[in-house]
Amino acid sequence: MILPLNPNLSSIPHLSTQTPSKFTCIHHRCCATPSLSLTPSHSRRCDFYDLHNELVPYAEAWRWQKSIVEEKKALSEKDEDLAESLIILQHQPVYTLGAGSSDEFLKFDLNDAPFDLYQTERGGEVTYHGPGQLVMYPIMNLRHHKMDLHWYLRALEEVVIRAISSAFDIEASRVAGLTGVWVGNEKLAAIGIKISRWITYHGLALNVTTDLMPFQRIVPCGINDRQVGSIKGILQSQGNKEEDDDDDSELIDISCKSLVTHFCEVFQVDLCESYTKMGLDKSKLC
C-alpha cells in the first residue's frame, strides 16, 4: 500500500524568515570546476540543519521540506530573498517512488510491503532509504545559482564525487545517460529531485554503512544491470576495513563532514547552523 503524506505530522522545525539571533557561520570558498561555475560573485548564506545522526521518519522530513519550499516561494513572489537551506539526516527504513514510477520495479505485493512505501513528486524510480545512508536535502533557489536542471544534477553528483575522493580516496564517476554516482558497477549515491518555480527539494542519498539487503526487494532506480554499493563495502573490498569492524558511526561522521564541505565549495554557500526542534535541539556541526 502506498502511503499518503500526513498533513498533521508534528515536530517539524519552523524556518524563520529572519536571520537567527544565534547561529554560527562557517565560511567555505569556492573551488568549483569551470563546468560548474556559478553566477554569484559572493557566497550565499545557507541555513544548515544537522540531523546526520538521527533516524527521521520519511513523511516528517518530506513535510518539513515542503513547508520550507512554500515559504521560499511566497518570499520570491514578493521579490524578497531568503537564505538557502540544507538538511542532512538518515531515515527510518522506507521505500519511495518517483512521480512517474512503475510498480514493475517492485518485487513485493503493494499490500504487503516490507517497509512503508511513499509515492513522491521527485523524479526517478523506486529507491530505499534506511540507517547508514546519509540523505542530503538542499532547498535552494536556482535563480541565485543557475537555472538549469541538468547543471543542478551534475553539481550534486560533483559534491559526492569530491566528498568520497577526499575523505576515503575512493575514485567515483558518472555513467553516461544515468543520474547518480558510481564506483565501477556499483551505485553509491542516488539522486532524485523536484524543482518548483526554480526552488529545489528532495536531493541525494549516499550509502555509507547501509544494509543493502532491502535493495534486493526492488529494482533500484529501475536499473536492472547494475548493482548498489556502499562506502563501507568498497573499503572492505579494498582491504581497508575488516568485516567485523565497528566503525560505522565514524564513517557516517566523516562522510557527513566531507559532503557538507564540498557542497559549500560547489554551490558557493556559507553555512549558518540552525537550531531545530526535531526530537532535540541540535547545535553541533558535523
Which entry of 46, 221, 256, 286 is annotated as an active-site residue?
221
**Sheet of 2-3: strands edge to edge?**
2-3, 116-119, 94-97, 127-129
Residue 114: CB atoms within 10 A of its CB come to 14
Q: How far apart are CA 280 and CA 262, in angstroms?
A: 27
Q: What 3-state DSSP class applies to 283?
A: coil
Q: How far apart are CA 115 and CA 126, in angstroms?
A: 13
Give the residue ranges of DSSP H helices in the chain.
Answer: 58-77, 149-168, 231-237, 248-267
Cell of 30: 569556492
**Within its chain, how far is the Cα of 64 from the centroid?**
14
Q: How far apart are CA 211 and CA 214, in angstroms?
A: 7
Active site residue 286: no
Q: Which residues are catalytic?
A: 221
